[in-house]
């Protein structure tokens, strides 16, 4: 196949069509992606590739298609899962030494739904350990390289998923977003990434970082592709108490019929706090996007989200506190890493955890422990919980005031150099300032490629009211019918970053 | 009834104990509080722990409606404020029996707020103890210590079993009172059918907070907590020995250290639990995996309408409607199984007081000797009722009935059919020739004979020595092996002895 | 920010740091908490704390035991298990 018709960079709709018409089989598609994943192993975007399982599943899918049992839209399509989603029979490491040998006896709800749809799992994508990080440099399995420039990070924590989609190693990939872990790597890698409303996608079997923030989502080459996968992932699950009983009809319709463009002109808010002192080149890209949308009849207004500046401290308290206790179950007793020859119970706990967790995970655990401990609870945890409400109220006030969607930067700039921020955690945390507010508020938000800065792709962020994913995706889709930023492909292998 | 305890509360000299107890009540649900695993006792180790109970990565808790309903029932029974919104928190500490590294509990906002429990002491005095709160939480697993050298084995079957932790105000003033409160709570939760009440399976476990202070002092002394005491008697003993220990320490010039202690019934002493990780900082915070619990008014009203008769109401009914003494009524209503046994027996006995005497007397003693629960009594309630019916209709005397009871005890049966039970008893009476002699002419013959044989005693009686009547009765009972109808016999003797 | 008690934090978290690591970790934590402390400028008044982004209440599960439990599969994941029990170094003085 020539480059232009290569399924590796085709849209899901085209792949669906190709499978349906017999242009290629699921097995052929799977082999193609597996081969490219092997070729691009220098990116380190997969922790585990499962060629045998994938081929067997593809053969099964092809057989089903032959006998007319390929009923689901996504049937026979290969994809990759972030290594945070438990997969029965295939290792789920969560990027950690702690779970280096962990094979869950169950599938995550997301995996279960996508398996039931007949998708083929190519492998498990690399990630920052326990989803804690903004560069993918915190993985026990080594960093992921940005396909656009191998000396740069792909972003994190879902860096492997973003890089794999960008490099054409999979048409789509799942990810999770706690404070930006889908949107930031999507921006850095030039792909479309959406974090749906908190509660939209079941967290069952998705290894917890911060329970009140974690949300599963998807990386794709377009909003339309993302809608197709999200519609299958989303929906109520009685095993997750925090999962919303919200209907997904509009999403299902968008998946089946393809995304429409917004029926009415929308009011798009620009939160002015996000644009203060912003990288000029990035500001310019966002201005261009704004003009394009205005030309489509949408109205752009300035809005104020005055508590934005408190979002990062609030986030690092809430996420740290929840993480510090979510990670207590890793104690070397029932699963996971256990130290050699523990001399007593305390030694077993302490050494297993000390050996099993990396530096960033330890920092977050210690931060969270501090914020919850006697004498600090009110000043930190309680204060953060109150600020969290104020931050959410800022958004709700804007939406109640007639704003349909918000347009904002995703990241302060494009992908940074590997190793640049590793020595300064606070500097690294500043990468998240534009993504954490929507996470705290539980709002759906996406990164949509909107051009290049310094030769590197960059995304714009769209934020919608709770459960208005379709509104968000329709606007993104409209934008993507007018631009081709989302179709740009990274060079096969970049000069600067030969495999390290 | 006296409200003044007759117990000697001054036996500790100038010291006054202050006692509060926290009782962990295992709720009798089918499944665990946050998972769909079964809760039955005694299964193979770890065969009732699923991925949620094991705290596997990514799995999540979902609250059991059955546990919520039982907590509501309890709250209604103690007249408590039910909190329409309550929160589940994480209590963080590491221990092998706690798979997640935190226990899901309710800290600041429990489901059940303040209520009270009224009960009788053995001396008949009545006490009302304030209950501070009752909250839902998950139970921990168990460690097995003697199976592997140098290692402990962890069994997580019990992990996640729903507990209702009932916290009393520290206003119990003696070990006996603490024990009576525990027993009353036991009777209550069994009556409500929210707990099986099996103390030796750990279905109810009592933590006793004990401190002492100089009599008259307002300020409380430093307290210790005696963990996991699981019998009425041990609660009393544990507190008694702990009070004695604290007095000894303080009078010896020492200080009481705030700590957790264990009661060792074999040595009748409490000792410090050194191994338990005693975190000073549990870092409670709302569990982000669970949403606030909001109680539905319809559910509350449904549970209210289903409330069974409470022990205290039952006791009053036994006194007022059945004419039982306060003592009998109290004894019969301490355990709902006993009350039910009594009511069934009494229904067929023809005399409720006789039934009460038997249940509190012979039956209780026999069960106690055999270490059996009333529900497992070899003589079931219907059979006892049938037996007592044969006393009240004059077929056998009370004394003979005891012989029959022993015979029935030896061959346990279960029946729901009183006529079958009567048939069985009648057959036994015939077989052993135990039928009471109630035939007047037969008895008259025996009377005439005994008076003729003992002219001296006849003369004594007629001279006013009434006690001699007993001699004649005894003689006749001896010759009839106790089968003479005592009432009839008395009448005939008195008639024949008239001057 | 008050003094960070590293000894207490590592004890509660069951982590062990060498002296050098502890020094570095303290510096990191001080910087992180310093960043967090910028929210002290916020006026929160009597705002109700928010534990959860959606204003939802607990959904209850019917009290039915339906779990499918495969102990052998679970214990195959355990670093040390014998006779159906998970093994840990001797626990002293448990109940």
Q: Pick from A344, C87, A348: which is nearest to B145 by CA?
A: C87
Q: How many domains is chain B built from?
A: 3
Task: Determine, for residues B151 and C68 on separate chains, whether the beta-carbon distance falls below 8 Å.
Answer: no
Task: Determine, for residues A241 and C58 on separate chains, whether the beta-carbon distance falls below 8 Å.
Answer: yes
**B396 lies in the same domain as B288:** no
pLDDT of residue B470: 87
Task: Determine, for residues B285 and A321 on separate chains, whether the beta-carbon distance falls below 8 Å.
Answer: yes
Asked if residue A127 has pLDDT above 70, the reply is yes
**B373 lies in the same domain as B472:** no
Query: Which chain B residues contact residue C64 at CB under 8 A?
Result: 30-31, 36
User: Helices (DSSP H) in B350-439: which residue ranges?
Assistant: 352-358, 364-370, 381-392, 398-410, 418-432
CA B229, chain centre distance (Å): 15
Question: Side by side, which strands form the sheet with B204-214?
Answer: B115-120, B126-138, B162-168, B15-26, B204-214, B224-229, B259-264, B269-272
pLDDT of residue B439: 74
The question of whether A82 is a catalytic residue gets the answer yes
- Looking at the complex, report in whole angstroms how far the Cα of residue C71 sits from the nearest Cα belonging to chain A: 11
pLDDT of residue A320: 98
The question of whether A124 is a catalytic residue gets the answer no
Count of alpha carbons within 13 Å of B416, Cβ hemisphere only?
0
| Contact predicate B210/B175, CB 8 Å | no
**B264 lies in the same domain as B327:** no
- Of B270, B301, B332, which one is at a domain's C-terminal end? B301
Give tens-digit pLDDT for C53-85: 998 999 999 999 998 899 999 999 999 999 999
pLDDT band at residue B76 using 50, 70 and 90 as cut-offs: very high
* Strand runs labelled E in A163-251: 173-177, 192-195, 215-220
Query: Which chain C residues contact residue B92 at CB under 8 A?
Result: 12
Give tens-digit pLDDT for A61-86: 999 999 999 999 999 999 999 999 99
Helix (H, G, I), strand (E, B) or coil at B310: coil
For residues A452-457, average pLDDT = 97
What does DSSP say about strands B126-138 and A120-125: parallel, antiparallel, or unpaired?
unpaired
- Of B301, B330, B362, which one is at a domain's C-terminal end? B301
Does the residue B184 lie in any domain? yes
pLDDT of residue A497: 42
Task: Determine, for residues B96 and C67 on separate chains, whether the beta-carbon distance falls below 8 Å.
Answer: no
Rg (CA), chain B: 29
Query: Which chain C residues contact residue A335 at CB under 8 A?
Result: 77-79
**B113 lies in the same domain as B150:** yes
**Residue from the list A343, A348, A370 with its beta carbon closest to the beta carbon of C4:** A370
What are the Cα distances from residue C80, in Å, to A335, B199, C84, C88? Answer: 9, 32, 10, 8
Question: Side by side, which strands form the sheet with C81-82?
Answer: B142-148, B151-155, C85-89, C81-82
The answer to which of B226-235, B445-454, C40-49 has the lowest mean pLDDT is B445-454
N-to-C CA span, chain A: 30
Residue A93: partners with Cβ closer than 8 Å, 6 or more residues away: A47, A48, A83, A99, A100, A102, A124, A140, A141
- Looking at the complex, report in whole angstroms how far the Cα of residue A126 sits from the nearest Cα belonging to chain B: 18
CATH topology of domain A3-269+403-487: Amidase signature (AS) enzymes (3.90.1300)
d(CA A479, CA B469): 116
d(CA B23, CA B209): 11
pLDDT of residue B496: 85
pLDDT of residue B486: 79
N-to-C CA span, chain C: 40
d(CA B475, CA B158): 63
| Contact predicate B127/B37, CB 8 Å | no
Give tens-digit pLDDT for B81-99: 999 999 999 999 999 999 9
Give tens-digit pLDDT for A383-424: 999 999 999 999 999 999 999 999 999 999 999 999 999 999
Task: Determine, for residues B143 and C94 on separate chains, whether the beta-carbon distance falls below 8 Å.
Answer: yes
**B230 lies in the same domain as B320:** no
Asked if residue C44 has pLDDT above 90, the reply is yes
The interface predicted TM-score (ipTM) is: 0.96
Task: Determine, for residues A240 and B60 on separate chains, whether the beta-carbon distance falls below 8 Å.
Answer: yes
For residues A127-132, average pLDDT = 98
Task: Determine, for residues B227 and C95 on separate chains, whether the beta-carbon distance falls below 8 Å.
Answer: yes
The answer to which of B207-211, B409-413, C62-66, C75-79 has the lowest mean pLDDT is B409-413
User: Helices (DSSP H) in B192-269: which residue ranges?
Assistant: 232-251
Which residues in C have their CB inside 8 Å of a CB on B?
Answer: 8, 12, 14, 51-52, 56-69, 71, 74-75, 80, 82-95
Give tens-digit pLDDT for A164-180: 999 999 999 999 999 99
pLDDT of residue B395: 85
Give tens-digit pLDDT for B22-74: 999 999 999 999 999 999 888 999 999 999 999 999 999 999 999 999 999 99
Residues 27-86, chain C, touching A (beta carbon < 8 A): 28-29, 31-39, 41-42, 44, 47-54, 56, 58-59, 61, 70, 73-74, 77-80, 86
- Token duo for residue A260: 């429409």
Task: Determine, for residues C39 and A310 on separate chains, whether the beta-carbon distance falls below 8 Å.
Answer: yes
Residue B480 phi/psi, 5° resolution?
-100, 10
B106 reaches C (C-beta below 8 A): no
The question of whether A212 is a catalytic residue gets the answer no
**B127 lies in the same domain as B22:** yes
d(CA A157, CA A136): 6
Q: Pick from B116, B227, B241: which is nearest to B166 by CA?
A: B116
pLDDT of residue B128: 97
Among A157, A161, A202, A352, the one annotated catalytic: A157
Does the residue B1 lie in any domain? no
**A/C interface, count of CB pairs below 8 Å:** 160
Query: Which chain A residues contact residue C34 at CB under 8 A?
Result: 426
pLDDT band at residue A496 using 50, 70 and 90 as cut-offs: very low
Probe site for chain B from A112, A329, A337, A389 (most B CB atoms < 10 A): A329
**Residue from the list A211, A329, A381 with its beta carbon closest to the beta carbon of B55:** A329
**Residue from the list C47, C74, C77 with its beta carbon closest to the beta carbon of A389:** C47
Does the residue C59 lie in any domain? no
Among A11, A181, A324, A352, the one annotated catalytic: A181
For residues A447-460, average pLDDT = 98
pLDDT band at residue B279 using 50, 70 and 90 as cut-offs: low
Strand partners, B128: B118
Percent of chain B exceeding pLDDT 90 equals 75
pLDDT of residue B274: 63
Q: Could you tell me the residue ranges of all domains in chain A?
A: 3-269+403-487
Strand partners, B362: none
Chain A residue nearest residue B54, CA to CA = A334
**Residue from the list B58, B63, B94 with its beta carbon closest to the beta carbon of A349:** B94
Mean pLDDT of chain B: 92
DSSP assigned state of B209: E
pLDDT band at residue A495 using 50, 70 and 90 as cut-offs: very low
Query: Which chain A residues contact residue C69 at CB under 8 A?
Result: none
d(CA A76, CA A87): 18
Task: Name the residue range of residue C12's domain.
Answer: 6-41
Residue A400 phi/psi, 5° resolution?
-65, -30
Probe site for chain B from A83, A93, A239 (most B CB atoms < 10 A): A239
CA B485, chain centre distance (Å): 38
DSSP assigned state of B82: B
Query: Which chain C residues contact residue B299 at CB under 8 A?
Result: none
The answer to which of A123-127, A188-192, B19-23, B142-146 has the lowest mean pLDDT is B142-146
DSSP assigned state of A377: I
Residues 386-445, chain B, touching C (beta carbon < 8 A): none
Does the residue C65 lie in any domain? no
* Strand runs labelled E in A35-133: 46-49, 78-82, 120-125
Percent of chain A exceeding pLDDT 70 equals 97
| Contact predicate B378/B408, CB 8 Å | yes
Asked if residue A125 has pLDDT above 60, the reply is yes
- Of B301, B334, B367, which one is at a domain's C-terminal end? B301
Give tens-digit pLDDT for A363-385: 999 999 999 999 999 999 999 99
pLDDT band at residue A498 using 50, 70 and 90 as cut-offs: very low
Does the residue C27 lie in any domain? yes
In DSSP notation, A215-229 reads: EEEEEESSHHHHHHH
**Residue from the list A316, A317, A386 with its beta carbon closest to the beta carbon of C44:** A386
HEC letters along C56-88: CCCCCECCCCCCCCCHHHHHCCCCCEECCEEEE
d(CA A154, CA A151): 10
- Token duo for residue B17: 């104990």
Task: Determine, for residues A425 and C31 on separate chains, whether the beta-carbon distance falls below 8 Å.
Answer: yes
B139 reaches C (C-beta below 8 A): no
Does the residue C48 lie in any domain? no
Q: Pick from B72, B76, B78: which is nearest to B111 by CA?
A: B72
d(CA B413, CA A63): 64
**B227 lies in the same domain as B372:** no
CA C60, chain centre distance (Å): 25
**B90 lies in the same domain as B167:** yes
CATH of the domain at B475: 1.10.10.410
**B428 lies in the same domain as B449:** no
Asked if residue B485 has pLDDT above 90, the reply is no
pLDDT band at residue B430 using 50, 70 and 90 as cut-offs: confident
What are the Cα distances from residue B324, in Å, to B180, B226, B316, B355, C64? Answer: 21, 38, 9, 10, 42
**Residue from the list A99, A328, A381 with its beta carbon closest to the beta carbon of B285:** A381
| Contact predicate B79/B44, CB 8 Å | no
Q: Which chains pack against B, by 3+ Cβ pairs within 8 A?
A: A, C
Task: Determine, for residues C53 and A373 on separate chains, whether the beta-carbon distance falls below 8 Å.
Answer: no
DSSP assigned state of B379: S
Percent of chain C exceeding pLDDT 70 equals 95
Give tens-digit pLDDT for A200-258: 999 999 999 999 999 999 999 999 999 999 999 999 999 999 999 999 999 999 999 99
Question: Side by side, which strands form the sheet with A456-463?
Answer: A46-49, A120-125, A78-82, A173-177, A215-220, A192-195, A445-453, A456-463, A405-409, A267-271, A299-303
Rg (CA), chain A: 21
d(CA B36, CA B16): 47
**B/C interface, count of CB pairs below 8 Å:** 142
Residue B469 phi/psi, 5° resolution?
-55, -40
**B272 lies in the same domain as B401:** no
Among A26, A82, A324, A352, the one annotated catalytic: A82
Task: Name the residue range of residue B334's domain.
Answer: 309-432
Give tens-digit pLDDT for B304-314: 999 999 999 99
Helix (H, G, I), strand (E, B) or coil at B42: coil
Strand partners, A217: A175
Give tens-digit pLDDT for B379-403: 999 999 999 999 998 888 888 899 9
pLDDT of residue B6: 60
């Amino acid at each position: 196949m020539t480059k232009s018709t290569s399924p590796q960079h085709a849209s899901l709709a085209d792949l669906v069509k190709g499978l349906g018409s017999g242009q290629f089989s699921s097995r052929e598609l799977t082999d193609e992606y597996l081969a490219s994943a092997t070729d691009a192993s220098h990116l380190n975007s997969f922790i585990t590739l499962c060629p045998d399982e994938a081929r067997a599943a593809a053969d099964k899918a092809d057989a089903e298609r032959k006998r007319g049992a390929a009923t689901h839209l996504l049937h026979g399509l290969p994809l990759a899962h972030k290594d945070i989603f438990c997969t029965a029979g295939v290792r789920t490491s969560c990027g950690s030494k702690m779970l280096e040998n962990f094979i869950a006896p169950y599938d995550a709800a997301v995996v279960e739904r996508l398996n039931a749809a007949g998708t083929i799992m190519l492998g498990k994508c690399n990630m920052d350990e326990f989803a804690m990080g903004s560069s993918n440099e915190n993985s026990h399995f080594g960093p992921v390289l940005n396909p656009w420039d191998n000396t740069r990070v792909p972003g994190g924590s879902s860096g492997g998923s973003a890089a794999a989609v960008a490099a054409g190693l999979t048409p789509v990939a799942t990810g999770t977003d706690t404070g930006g872990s889908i949107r930031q790597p999507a921006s850095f890698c030039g792909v479309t990434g959406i974090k749906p409303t908190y509660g939209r996608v079941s967290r069952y079997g998705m290894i917890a970082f911060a329970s009140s923030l974690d949300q599963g989502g998807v990386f794709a080459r377009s909003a339309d592709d993302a809608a197709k996968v999200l519609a299958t992932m989303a929906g109520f699950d009685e095993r997750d108490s925090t999962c919303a009983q919200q209907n997904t009809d509009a999403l299902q319709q968008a998946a089946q019929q393809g995304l429409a463009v917004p029926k009415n002109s929308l009011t798009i808010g620009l939160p002015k706090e996000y644009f203060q002192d912003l990288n000029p080149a990035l500001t310019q890209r966002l201005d261009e996007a704004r003009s394009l949308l205005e030309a489509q009849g949408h109205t752009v207004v300035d809005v104020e989200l005055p508590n934005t500046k408190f979002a990062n401290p609030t986030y690092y308290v809430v996420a740290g506190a929840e993480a510090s206790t979510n990670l207590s179950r890793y104690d070397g007793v029932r699963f996971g890493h256990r130290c050699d020859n523990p001399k007593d119970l305390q030694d077993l706990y302490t050494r297993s955890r000390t050996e099993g967790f990396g530096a960033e995970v330890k920092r977050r655990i210690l931060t969270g422990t501090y914020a919850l401990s006697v004498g600090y609870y009110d000043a930190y945890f309680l204060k953060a919980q109150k600020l969290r409400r104020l931050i959410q109220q800022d958004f709700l006030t804007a939406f109640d005031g007639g704003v349909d969607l918000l347009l904002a930067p995703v990241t302060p700039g494009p992908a940074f150099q590997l190793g640049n921020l590793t020595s300064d955690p606070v500097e690294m945390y500043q990468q998240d300032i534009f993504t954490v507010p929507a996470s705290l508020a539980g709002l759906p938000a996406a990164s949509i490629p909107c051009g290049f800065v310094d030769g590197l792709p960059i995304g714009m962020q769209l934020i919608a009211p709770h459960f208005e994913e379709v509104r968000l995706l329709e606007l993104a889709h409209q934008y993507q019918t007018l631009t081709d930023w989302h179709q740009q492909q990274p060079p096969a292998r970049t000069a600067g970053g030969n495999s390290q | 009834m006296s409200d003044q305890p007759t117990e000697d509360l001054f036996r500790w000299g100038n010291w006054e104990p202050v006692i509060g107890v926290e009782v962990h009540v295992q709720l009798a649900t089918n499944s665990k509080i946050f998972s769909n695993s079964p809760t039955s006792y005694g299964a193979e180790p770890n065969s009732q722990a699923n991925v949620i109970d094991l705290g596997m990565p990514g799995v999540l808790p979902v609250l059991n409606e059955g546990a919520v309903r039982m907590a509501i029932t309890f709250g209604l029974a103690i007249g408590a404020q039910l909190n329409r919104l309550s929160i589940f928190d994480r209590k963080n500490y590491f221990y092998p029996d706690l798979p997640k590294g935190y226990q899901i509990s309710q800290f600041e906002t429990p489901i059940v707020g303040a209520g009270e429990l009224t009960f009788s002491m053995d001396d008949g005095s009545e006490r009302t103890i304030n209950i501070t709160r009752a909250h839902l939480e998950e139970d921990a697993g168990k460690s097995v210590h003697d199976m592997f050298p140098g290692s402990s084995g962890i069994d997580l079957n019990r992990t996640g079993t729903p507990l209702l932790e009932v916290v009393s105000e520290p206003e119990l003033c003696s070990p006996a009172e603490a024990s009576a409160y525990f027993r009353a709570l036991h009777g209550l939760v069994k009556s409500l059918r929210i707990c099986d009440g099996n103390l030796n399976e750990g279905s109810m476990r009592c933590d006793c907070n004990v401190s002492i202070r100089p009599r008259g002092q307002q300020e409380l002394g430093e307290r210790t907590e005696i963990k996991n005491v699981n019998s009425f008697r041990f609660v009393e003993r544990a507190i008694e020995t702990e009070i004695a220990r604290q007095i000894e320490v303080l009078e010896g010039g020492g200080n009481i250290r705030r700590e957790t202690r264990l009661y060792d019934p074999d040595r009748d002493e409490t000792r410090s639990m050194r191994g338990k990780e005693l975190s000073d900082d549990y870092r409670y915070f709302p569990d982000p995996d669970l949403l606030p619990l909001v109680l539905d008014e319809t559910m509350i009203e449904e549970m209210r309408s289903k409330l069974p008769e409470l022990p205290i109401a039952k006791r009053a009914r036994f006194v007022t409607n059945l004419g039982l003494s306060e003592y009998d009524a109290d004894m019969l209503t301490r355990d709902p199984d006993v009350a039910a046994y009594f009511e069934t027996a009494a229904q067929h006995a023809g005399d409720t007081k006789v039934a009460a005497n038997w249940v509190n007397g012979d039956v209780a003693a026999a069960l106690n000797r055999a270490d059996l629960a009333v529900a497992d009594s070899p003589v079931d309630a219907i059979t006892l009722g049938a037996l007592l019916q044969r006393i009240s209709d004059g077929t056998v005397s009370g004394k003979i009935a005891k012989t029959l009871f022993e015979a029935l005890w030896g061959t346990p049966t279960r029946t729901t059919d009183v006529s079958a039970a009567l048939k069985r008893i009648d057959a036994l009476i015939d077989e052993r020739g135990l039928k009471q002699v109630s035939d007047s002419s037969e008895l008259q013959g025996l009377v005439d004979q005994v008076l003729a044989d003992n002219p001296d005693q006849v003369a004594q009686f007629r001279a006013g020595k009434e006690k001699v009547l007993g001699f004649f009765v005894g003689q006749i009972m001896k010759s009839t092996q106790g089968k003479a109808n005592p009432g009839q016999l008395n009448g005939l003797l008195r008639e024949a002895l008239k001057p | 920010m008050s003094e960070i008690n590293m000894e207490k934090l590592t004890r509660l978290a069951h982590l062990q740091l060498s002296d050098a690591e502890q020094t570095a970790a303290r510096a990191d934590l001080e910087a992180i908490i310093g960043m967090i402390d910028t929210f002290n400028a916020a006026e929160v008044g009597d705002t109700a704390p928010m534990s959860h982004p959606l204003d939802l209440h607990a959904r209850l599960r019917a009290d039915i035991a339906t779990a499918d439990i495969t102990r052998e599969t679970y214990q195959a994941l355990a670093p040390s298990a014998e006779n159906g029990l998970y093994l840990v170094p001797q626990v002293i003085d448990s109940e």
